[in-house]
Structure 1
């Protein structure tokens, strides 16, 4: 097995070999192909793509629509494309020392899905000409140069405003990566596919992750190989698209290419070292090297994409993908007591020696979950003979099966948790056990629609349906109290724990038309009717039941007690909306847009939202732009109806202690007793201002500042005890819980930020190019505070009177919104092409993050816990410094059809900072924080990718 040094040497050797091709390039004189790209009216199209098919050579037009290519003598096929227009294909013959003029007029496409997100105008615009900031990420061009295999991870390293890090020891969230835009919640960004609303995941993030209490969209269910591009609208857009679009909109555009068979496969693994034994050596003053070398996370992915021509201009594009991801483990060595004391003295060492064991046998699994899955997606369109109508459909099915572990149940914890049944448990698990959560996540979606002309208006009517199911099994576990039934001849170790489902059906009818008013007026309008549904499936009885409440033993399957459906049948609601959208170009320099949307929900009422934006061209190469909008987010069905008892580990006196905590709905009796109000919508007010520039050929610059105020943000509260209330105690005991939590509109926040993107495309000569992209975001998210500097919490009078506001919203909750995600992120990417050779070098800097502990008062140092490493009283608060991650890959086109890529993600094996306080190490187990994360903590990843692409069209 290769170690880190050998892996890097292999990569450098491969790089040296490929770079040698630079010195054997042809010395014959080159020829020039140049021209302009314009639309039918003669307007120059800046940023149009001009590529040489089969050669990985290309350029983009400048602000006047001009382009130049230097090519070696020979015959070439040029492809010229621009968003919103039909591709133009032409053949050219290049002669050394001569110049060929090749100017084209592009014809506007009839496919409305080509339009960049954020506008309903059919006048296409580049990212530097839009009135609001939009990133267009060509995933189809990028995916073969990177080692990341799922969309969340690919976008985290490409788009600074987008952030997603894998979570660990967090129940279901181990299996779905929450994703954020501008540091806001996963449910405050709207996801579309081909311009149509995508349904959310059924999972609620209820454990202690940075996105606790939120519900996101599982974008990893969409195979990256099926995607042509991703459009990220970084601006509030609720007035255009409805609920959730507070931070922005992500539109995923599926491939529609035909006649190209594209097969790719990749394999990679983590090869790294980390200080696994740091706490063990620190506590015992041992000078040995605490590091340990690890090779894990082996990942294989294979995908096939092919498009069939349907009729003269129609298509059916199909993608199949399979992924197998191995688990990673960055656990620390446990330093606490393993076995109960003997005669009041800890005898762990002698017991381990007698059993022939070491502490390594008691390791937890802290890292990426294991995951296997496959997906099949399709994208279809059929234009009718009249040339005015098109039938379209798209969607897909995916299934993922995951496995992750929870906290190790050491013999000491078995004694305290199983009480009188401990001896029965030890007969099965003499050294305790590591329980596992197995997931089965199925996702299905389909959309069908018709685009046509209706009284000279463009008309689009569609129906989109999606469903996500998240089912849980518990393995290598036990229900301590099942021994009380007297029927357990062979103890049950696996359990069906039930699950969740969310489904959504959306009907849209949209109209748009462009009028010759001044420089152009686009009028759009439409309506939407949507049904949301949520349901809970109960697990088998043994997964959740406490068969002997009086014993004091913990009931239900250890690590994850099964669901009990207390809400009855599926809960549904409906919403209908009407909108209008106007875009007026007063001149070719000045544009003003406005949108208004009315929406009514059957469960909480109505909302009216607006948006205005403008762009003014001060010079042909310099624009200023601004927008103002209101927005909203309806409480998700999951937040309204999720109900379950979970085992949560909370910190008490510096130790993690398991607590059975019940999540109750807001219309439940415990909510009434504590004065928890029913959920209402979040509302927002957004502002942005920025400029775009194209000062020289090939250089695009965008800079935008924004501010978003959000009122009544929904959080999952912390745990409330019964407080001596007998009625509340009875309610908790009925579900086997010792405390309760709820979803609540707890606080108001203000988010401010600055985003910048600088891209430069340089044509360096014959079949020789370099593209450089620098992108950055600087974020400041704050919970609004009173004059005393403390957060303003919307708590009920009952909570204030009973001094339980801290349980409603505390410092750790505050830190999740303010500082638990990177406050800034910068990326610098170089993409180099020379004939058949390509290289990608990327630097991503993840800004600092902070953990704020909820259990201590920073104003009272005397109450701080003692740091066992230093012997001093210290707060558990910690700042984790910024980290620079380097990705490098090299590719070579062996033949016209076959290409290979070798590379590394996190080439220099960078980790985020370790914990500095012994309490956060949790007796040595958590070397790295699971509460705040930047880029995860897995270390260097090395991969190889093979791509086979063949054009099956008849020449």
Structure 2
């Protein structure tokens, strides 16, 4: 393989073509200074460069007429014509004017014909200039930045959800985290090894850890809001997120600190619904980022970023109102014991909020020309973070009687077990690209790896404590790993057909590997079966040796992509992609897209495509026993639930089929209106049909089946769940962006961006309105279809995430002073309880607060979160800012139903969330750029 690569490199390096040098300088229109790091690209090619530290550039091109695409974050992009003729070196000196447009720039995602302006793209693409907007916001990670800038993107931090406390799942268009493809510099990014298995939104999915990429390293993010599996492969059902790393030269960075300063009703339930507010400050977050870029030769660069973040935990627990200590006979003596020990119920608080996370990373991005026609590039990063989160409190009364005295000899007041995570993320990509004759080429290899290891502390394995007061309190519970290696060869050429035909062809080979590492023996073993107490470390039992091991698969793909400029106004594109997977077979997908300019400022666009998502290896092979707290008779009770693979004996007994790919059909139609440089409007409507959506089922008991009971007992479990292709869905929505940008008074500017998305996600239903569930005959015959997929599962698809979100951002600048005001409206969300029948009021439980019978369902009204920021340029290159996120300290509605209030502990829902429950966050930041 190495010999072949070196031979290919030698052949490509030996190629030369007669060309002239385009030289010029890019300057700031306002002050005439040279702009470093400006991108200059010959349109519809990969031939481009960036300006040096003084704004100068040089670019070789054969004789002919071209359009130069000139773009730079924070400035209005330009497309200018230029003629290259023999014996001449055309001068290309241009000035650029500042533009604060948040969602407009030259884009490359979604098209293989070279850069187009976003307004000219045949598919909707948002451009998020991360390196610019971080001056004005308190968010320090990519997930939270995108949540407040791009309405179609949603990420809420989870709580009391095991590993999901440490890696934030994210959605695009309300679909799953694994139905959006993430790219870095146009190359596929690997997923996390974490499977979201608890009862949160996105249950059963596997996402990409965007926060493993330091925001300081990111230049901009392109969000393609359209199906793109025919172009990029698996996962691109909802769209594509392309993270483009910085390539600038010079030194830049930032230092920030902030914390939550807030008030919430901690004692709401304890005070029988009356005000019980407390004032707190927590969640202190310190962040330091440093970026340095230097030139390598006349056209190359090396850019390196380092970032460190230390985020303290937040806690929005309510005061526990239930029984704490064992009763004396039939008499509850909690208050007497609390008084005698001179403590209050606050000593038994849970930790319900953001986990504690401490970590950092390094990112490198480099591009080095080897000749006039060939360059080598490389990028990658290393990120490591350590997290700490807690589970449910184990009160003295809730500790099994068989081990109570032993456990209380160590934990006098019971214990709050903790999950400690150690997450390591590594990525590396390298390749050659350039021109060979009339063809441009890109040959690359991309590798990524994510390891997630668990240590459980402040815990106990009850079966160790049955006969001894000496027992282990910290456990190595094992972990998961996922790696991916992708080899790509992409070829493209522009043909002189009509107004230009771009032909792209390519091939891809990918290998995925998933591993489970067993925990130490005491983290999972049952040392005393006869005692009848739960085995394994409390809160998170270790992975079993029989489930440990490695699993891999490979795939190969080939594609063709055509983009034809039929006239100056009409563009038509199409793509076809074939893939073969070693574990489930073949798939063939297509895409068609078009854009037609009615006038210079008004265009129509539309697309149709098919797509697919291969079941992740994590979904195929994840197997573990978890302690889940489920609602029974209005109480949260622990249950040992085993997740089994689809080829296991329990799956066979229950008739659970093997996993297959999800398939989709997408349609988009929209318009773009640009009446002037100041005003721009885009509106796009879409429909996405997805068949065979993969879900994590609910928990099946043995149902009297002796064989299943034995299988569960061997896994220390009382119930079993599985991943399965359970339902079909239809998603519809409208997305719109309206922007206005103007300058006045010599040194003043104003920009406003109003963006919104309106989403309707539905599980497909029969004529009677009942969900169509792909359940086996065995489940139907044994009346277990509701266990397979229940109404809470239905709500996660349809109403548990905001159905709409709108944002208004206003930036005003006068001289060195800048002001930012942003309001984001998170639409309503709804929780549906799985345990009741909404058509039978007599069976409803009584609400402990109101005394009335209720369904346990609840709709949480929309909320508006307002952010403000003031920034000031002290001297050239140094900017300071202060601000507040959620300045009015808005929380989502409190729970009103007994089950999830959970005896006072959960004031706010952990099942459905809009913008989190941390309240006001105040911050200060210093940015520098030299």
Normalising by structure 2, what TM-score?
Answer: 0.90
Indicate the larger mover: 297-306 or 832-841.
832-841
What is the CA–CA distance in structure 2 between the aligned matches of 1:776 and 1:190, rounded to whole Å?
22
> Match for 2:303 among 290, 294, 317?
317
| Corresponding residue for residue 328 of structure 2 | 342
| Corresponding residue for residue 896 of structure 1 | 876
Whether the aligned pair in 1 keeps the contact of 2:107 and 2:117 (CA below 8 Å) is no
What is the CA–CA distance in structure 1 between the aligned matches of 2:280 and 2:592, rounded to whole Å?
54
| Corresponding residue for residue 70 of structure 1 | none
What is the CA–CA distance in structure 2 between the aligned matches of 1:860 and 1:49, rounded to whole Å?
70
Whether the aligned pair in 2 keeps the contact of 1:628 and 1:688 (CA below 8 Å) is yes
What is the CA–CA distance in structure 2 between the aligned matches of 1:449 and 1:652, rounded to whole Å?
56
1:138 matched to 2:123? The reply is no
> Match for 1:473 among 447, 455, 474?
455
What is the CA–CA distance in structure 2 between the aligned matches of 1:578 and 1:559, rounded to whole Å?
46
| Corresponding residue for residue 681 of structure 2 | 701
What is the CA–CA distance in structure 2 between the aligned matches of 1:796 and 1:479, rounded to whole Å?
37
Distance 1:542 1:463, change over 3 A: same
Whether the aligned pair in 1 keeps the contact of 2:182 and 2:240 (CA below 8 Å) is yes
SS at match of 1:570: strand
1:263 Cα shift? 2.4
1:696 Cα shift? 2.6
Superposed CA offset, 1:516-535 (max 9, x none): 11011000010000000000
Runs of 4+ in 1 over 3 A off after TM superposition: 48-56, 76-89, 102-106
SS at match of 2:786: helix
What is the CA–CA distance in structure 1 between the aligned matches of 2:636 and 2:168, rounded to whole Å?
25
Superposed CA offset, 1:522-555 (max 9, x none): 0001000000000000011111111111111111
SS at match of 1:894: strand
SS at match of 2:642: strand
1:412 Cα shift? 1.1
What is the CA–CA distance in structure 1 between the aligned matches of 2:327 and 2:72, rounded to whole Å?
79
1:456 Cα shift? 1.6
> Match for 1:119 among 95, 106, 111?
111
1:87 Cα shift? 6.1
> Match for 1:269 among 240, 259, 283?
259
Distance 1:446 1:53, change over 3 A: farther
1:455 Cα shift? 3.0
1:223 Cα shift? 0.2
1:189 matched to 2:171? The reply is no
1:504 matched to 2:495? The reply is no
1:663 Cα shift? 0.2
> Match for 1:430 among 412, 417, 426?
412
Indicate the larger mover: 560-569 or 925-934.
560-569
Whether the aligned pair in 2 keeps the contact of 1:566 and 1:643 (CA below 8 Å) is no
1:177 matched to 2:162? The reply is no
Whether the aligned pair in 1 keeps the contact of 2:124 and 2:226 (CA below 8 Å) is yes
| Corresponding residue for residue 246 of structure 1 | 237
What is the CA–CA distance in structure 2 between the aligned matches of 1:899 and 1:55, rounded to whole Å?
20
1:916 matched to 2:896? The reply is yes
1:249 Cα shift? 0.1
1:306 matched to 2:292? The reply is yes
Whether the aligned pair in 2 keeps the contact of 1:83 and 1:115 (CA below 8 Å) is no
1:516 matched to 2:529? The reply is no
SS at match of 1:466: strand
| Corresponding residue for residue 781 of structure 1 | 761
| Corresponding residue for residue 431 of structure 2 | 449
> Match for 1:355 among 329, 341, 344?
341
Alignment of 1:780-859 (within 5 A): 780-859=760-839
Distance 1:51 1:377, change over 3 A: farther
Alignment of 1:844-883 (within 5 A): 844-883=824-863
1:897 Cα shift? 2.9
Whether the aligned pair in 2 keeps the contact of 1:302 and 1:323 (CA below 8 Å) is yes
Normalising by structure 1, what TM-score?
Answer: 0.88
1:80 Cα shift? 12
SS at match of 1:671: helix
Whether the aligned pair in 1 keeps the contact of 2:491 and 2:505 (CA below 8 Å) is yes
What is the CA–CA distance in structure 1 between the aligned matches of 2:677 and 2:602, rounded to whole Å?
13
| Corresponding residue for residue 537 of structure 2 | 557
Superposed CA offset, 1:648-702 (max 9, x none): 0011111111000000000000000000000000000000000001013311110
What is the CA–CA distance in structure 1 between the aligned matches of 2:863 and 2:372, rounded to whole Å?
54
| Corresponding residue for residue 281 of structure 1 | 271
Give structure 2 stretches of 5+ with no counterpart: 1-19, 21-26, 39-52, 59-65, 74-91, 97-104
Indicate the larger mover: 564-573 or 248-257.
564-573
1:55 Cα shift? 12
Whether the aligned pair in 1 keeps the contact of 2:268 and 2:276 (CA below 8 Å) is yes
Whether the aligned pair in 1 keeps the contact of 2:697 and 2:723 (CA below 8 Å) is yes
> Match for 1:212 among 203, 206, 213?
203
Alignment of 1:25-44 (within 5 A): none
Whether the aligned pair in 2 keeps the contact of 1:53 and 1:79 (CA below 8 Å) is no
Whether the aligned pair in 2 keeps the contact of 1:55 and 1:836 (CA below 8 Å) is no
Aligned length in residues: 859
Whether the aligned pair in 2 keeps the contact of 1:685 and 1:710 (CA below 8 Å) is yes
Superposed CA offset, 1:400-424 (max 9, x none): 000000000001111xxx3312110
Distance 1:475 1:185, change over 3 A: same
SS at match of 1:323: strand
> Match for 2:219 among 228, 250, 264?
228
Superposed CA offset, 1:616-651 (max 9, x none): 000010000000000000000000000000000011
Distance 1:83 1:783, change over 3 A: farther
| Corresponding residue for residue 237 of structure 1 | 228
Whether the aligned pair in 1 keeps the contact of 2:158 and 2:910 (CA below 8 Å) is yes
| Corresponding residue for residue 100 of structure 2 | none
SS at match of 1:145: coil
1:121 Cα shift? 0.4
What is the CA–CA distance in structure 2 between the aligned matches of 1:688 and 1:353, rounded to whole Å?
65
| Corresponding residue for residue 129 of structure 1 | 120
TM-align CA RMSD: 2.4
What is the CA–CA distance in structure 2 between the aligned matches of 1:332 and 1:879, rounded to whole Å?
20
